Amino acid sequence: MSLESIYEAVLKGDAKTAAADVETALNDGVPPGDILHQACIPAMTEVGRLFEIGEKFVPEMLIAARAMQTAVNLLKPHLVDSDVQSLGKVVVGTVAGDLHDIGKNLVAMMLEGAGFEIIDLGTDVSAEKFVAAVQENNPQVVGMSALLTTTMTSISATIEALTEAGLRDNVKVVVGGAPITQDFANKVGADGFAPDAGSAPRVVKALLGAS
Ligand code: B12
């Protein structure tokens, strides 16, 4: 089974074919990381490009996202080693006003694979909910995802809320998402930024002084 056919299936939003082709590729010994990085993620990037130029619309983005999630769910057991020792807790969520969760889910998966315990708050997470989750779970790290330029401000609002609640010094804040840059992370006072799920574990470990 070729990576090309998985790419096409995710691009078209054909979850059934995507699932079947991922299964076949795994059985054929194709590395799960290759399936993710060479087929699934490029397909979503292409969906975004086609949306931008008006050749795809929201419903098509949504079905492509579902096909992507189906593929990722099949890859997850192969990418995450459940036997690793816990390096600490990370609370993750997509910020208020934002419903995009594919990138956040991938980051959570990679962190889990690296040995972190994940508390996933889902999407459209208010500043209050982040604060409550930190109070409740005492994580070492909070990871926030924003995919819209309009919801980037929710990151700064959440960081401010953590500060007001007296929790900012207890946690490291890591941010990411397509419109987020290192520059933005510095401006809003985040501790770290990672451009993709592959580099997220390294960034988080460095912040905690773990290797
Ligand atoms: C799929 C998708 C959707 C799906 C989301 C489904 C889902 N369950 O997530 C649906 C259809 C719901 C959707 C809706 C909308 N979308 Co949309 N969407 C996309 C699309 C095509 C792909 C996003 C994606 O999953 N990428 C793949 C993942 C793997 O990449 P990623 O998210 O960037 O994540 C990686 C990194 O950023 C990083 N990362 C991400 N989060 C975090 C967090 C941490 C802590 C760290 C360290 C790293 C990190 O690691 C990830 C993995 O490598 C993008 C286009 C694009 N190229 O980004 C548009 C895009 C983000 N959407 C866009 C828009 C406009 C919308 C809508 C407003 C459309 C509308 N008119 O209704 C709505 C908004 C809904 C809302 N309130 O959130 C625009 C945003 C424009 C802007 N500048 O703000 C984009 C860029 C499309 C475009 N080119 O115009 N969308």
Task: Give pLDDT tens digits for 122-149.
Answer: 999 999 999 999 999 999 999 999 999 9
Residue 10 Cβ < 6 Å to ligand 1 = no
Q: Is 175 helix (H, G, I), strand (E, B) or coil?
A: strand
Ligand 1 site, residue 53, Cβ cutoff 6 A: no
Extended strands (E) in 81-121: 88-94, 116-120
DSSP H or E run through 144: strand 141-145
Q: Please check whether residue 62 is in contact with residue 90, taking contact to mean a CB–CB distance below 8 angstroms.
A: no
Task: Find the helix or strand (DSSP H, E) in which 176 lies.
Answer: strand 172-176
The continuous run of DSSP H or E covering 86 comes out as none
Pocket of ligand 1 contains residue 103 by CB under 6 Å = yes
Q: In the predicted model, what is the mean pLDDT of residues 13-40? A: 95
CA angle 169, 170, 171 (to 5 degrees): 95
* Ligand 1 center–CA 145 separation, angstroms: 10
Structure tokens of 171?
Answer: 């946690």
111 touches ligand 1 (CB under 6 Å): no
User: Ligand 1: which atom is nearest the Cα of residue 151?
Assistant: 84
* 202/205 Cα distance (integer angstroms): 5
Query: Ligand 1 pocket, 60 CB below 6 A?
Result: no
By the 10 Å C-beta count (0-12 exposed, 13-18 middle, 19+ buried), 107 is classed as buried
The pLDDT of 189-203, averaged and rounded, is: 94
Closest atom, ligand 1, to C-alpha of 64: 1
**Residue 82: predicted pLDDT:** 58
Return the pLDDT at 176: 98
Question: Virtual CA dihedral for 141, 146, 149, 150, nearest 10 degrees?
Answer: -100
Report CA(83)–ligand 1 centroid distance (Å). Answer: 32
Average pLDDT over residues 52-60: 92
pTM of the predicted protein model: 0.91
Q: At 174, phi and psi to the nearest 5?
A: -120, 135
Task: Find residue 120's DSSP bridge partners.
Answer: 92
